[in-house]
Amino acid sequence: MVARIVPVEPFDLVVFGVTGDLARKKLIPALYHRQRAGQMPESARVIGCARSELGREDFRKMVRLSLDEAIPEAYRDRDALYAFLDTLDYLQVDARSDAGWPELSAKLRENAHPVCAFYLAVGPTLFGEIAERIGRHGCRAEDCRVIVEKPIGHDLASARTLNRQLAAHFDEHQIYRIDHYLGKETVQNLMVLRFANALFEPLWRSEHVDHVQITVAERLGVEGRGDYYDRTGALRDMVQNHLLQLLCLVAMEPPARLEQEAIREEKIKVVRSLRPIEGADLAAKTVRAQYRAGVVAEQAVRGYLDEEGIDPESETETFVAIKAEIDNWRWAGVPFYLRTGKRMGYRVSEIVIQFKRIPHLIFGDRIGAVQDNRLVIRLQPDESVKLAMMVKTPGPKIRLKPVHLNLNLADTFEDRSPLAYERLLLDVIKGTATLFMHRSEVEAAWRWVDTIREGWSFLGRRPRTYTAGSWGPEESIALMVRDDRTWYEHLA
Ligand code: BG6
């Protein structure tokens, strides 16, 4: 089945920080794929801005190199590449001074398109200044949008400051806060699974669900981002945004419509219902750890403290596990176990809905153990939805066996699954904010995370350690075992 291409208005997209990693590794490949799919309007302009002195041709060369690295052979297409390169322009613009701004403003005014989006692929300390200069230098089009990416602050107070700075120049509906997890296909599929199938909704509650697990395990370490990571840690880098967004999509009430306001309201209610974790609960319900040297994908890797850019005394966590509880009617008594870590044995992001035990077993215990039903939604590396069920094995006797009803999305649909940024960038152009975070969502998530962070600092304990290539520290296993449960680690 081939995906339908929804045409978008001709637009101008200005990317600040275009020479940085985010732009080169994610944004540019995403735009190229849209070009190849035929979704980029002919007159669209992508104007890269950065401090480096680059000519237009140098910039295009840089883009070609980025695409060579990022685009698999099967998706390379000369015509699409040249058409894409034609949309590109570059201007040397300094976010911290007025240098280059009059030129940017003039460029935007010549053949201006009604829709203009500014992607701030720069550190958050520059958000306010850039937002102010966009207005002061007359760069705003009729319909103007600004896109920002995490980290949106490093705690509630700094997030509020950033949100205020943006709000001084843009209305909330013009601000698109990206959490790229929301652009992932399977994450969107989660809403469809829940709200387009009658099967799950009656079961999606404390009467039938024993617990939920959300795992985002990475093989990567800090990858040249030591300085950022060491100031941030896994709680802020992953839990505050990606894991809480996944939790919200699993736990939210059905919104009345697929509209941004309706969805955001439901998600915010979930974050606000998260029980704060403080006092004695911190030790019982959270685990923080740092990786030691080990072996990942058959390669020996250094420990966190020996990574480049990391303070050798650092207490920053690279792994977090949390038992989260949602104090509302639907989820009372159903723990949501969250865990994420760098340098783990596998790259896997998965949501597991573990259903409760059957109330009464009619088969006796000699016919094989009955495994409780489980729905496993895998976001990456492959996208699949599996439902573990009990069946009878063939033969004259009744013997039970758990099997998976397995929906592998790659096998079901021939299409390449679009990259998260393809969807998100084009949604900004269309003015669809459903998959973006509202100011209040970001702030509510920080409030919950800050309590944990402050508790950890108060306790003043060093993080535990785990061997690179493992599933995390023993304490993470103990977190589950204490509740008579185990992490789901079935990778087949
Ligand atoms: C980013 C984090 O937001 O998400 C990174 O800053 C992390 O540390 C990345 O590696 C994971 O994203 P993905 O899409 O590779 O799972």
Burial of 207 (0-12, 13-18, 19+ CB in 10 A): exposed
Interval between CA 421 and ligand 1 midpoint (Å): 13
Q: Determine the distance separating the centroid of ligand 1 and the alpha carbon of 238, expressed in angstroms.
A: 7
Instruction: Write out the DSSP string of 83-107.
Output: HHHHHEEEEE--TTSSTTHHHHHHH
Look up tokens 């038992």; give the residue. Answer: 323
180 Cα nearest atom in ligand 1? 14
Q: CB neighbours (10 Å) of residue 283? A: 12
Q: Average pLDDT, stretch 122-138? A: 94
The model's pTM: 0.94
| Contact between 321 and 339 (Cβ < 8 Å) | yes
* Band of pLDDT at residue 48, cut at 50, 70 and 90: very high
Give helix 127-136 / helix 156-167 axis angle, nearest 10°. 10
Closest Cα to atom 13 of ligand 1: 181
Nearest atom in ligand 1 to the alpha carbon of residue 184 is 14
Specify the residue with its C-alpha closest to ligand 1, atom 8: 237
Quick check: 245 pLDDT over 60? Answer: yes
For residue 146, the SS3 value is strand
Q: Which of 22, 180, 351 has most ligand 1 atoms within 8 Å of CB, for mutation?
A: 180
C-alpha–C-alpha distance, residues 213 and 231, integer Å: 27
* CA–CA dist 375, 478 (Å, integer): 23
Task: Output the CA 182–ligand 1 centroid distance in Å.
Answer: 12
- 222's CB contacts (< 8 A; 6+ apart) are 229, 230, 304, 307, 308, 309, 310, 318, 342
Q: Which of 473, 447, 129, 71 is nearest to 275 (CA)?
A: 447
Q: Which active-site residues does the annotation give?
A: 242
Q: Using CA atoms, how far apart are residues 399 and 147, in angstroms rounded to an integer? A: 56
Q: Give the model's confidence band at 492: pLDDT under 50 very low, under 70 low, under 90 confident, else very high.
A: low
| 31-35, 57-61, 417-421: least confident range | 417-421
Pocket of ligand 1 from Cβ distances under 6 Å = 180, 218, 220, 237, 349
Q: Rounded mean pLDDT of 11-21? A: 95
User: In the numeric block, which tokens belong to residue 429?
Assistant: 């152009």
443 CA to centre of ligand 1 in angstroms: 20
- 418-450 pLDDT, tens per residue? 889 999 999 999 999 999 999 999 999 999 999
Q: Which residues pair with 355 in a beta bridge?
A: 209
**Residues 322 and 339 sit within 8 Å (Cβ to Cβ):** yes
Q: Measured from the CA of 380, which atom of ligand 1 is nearest?
A: 16
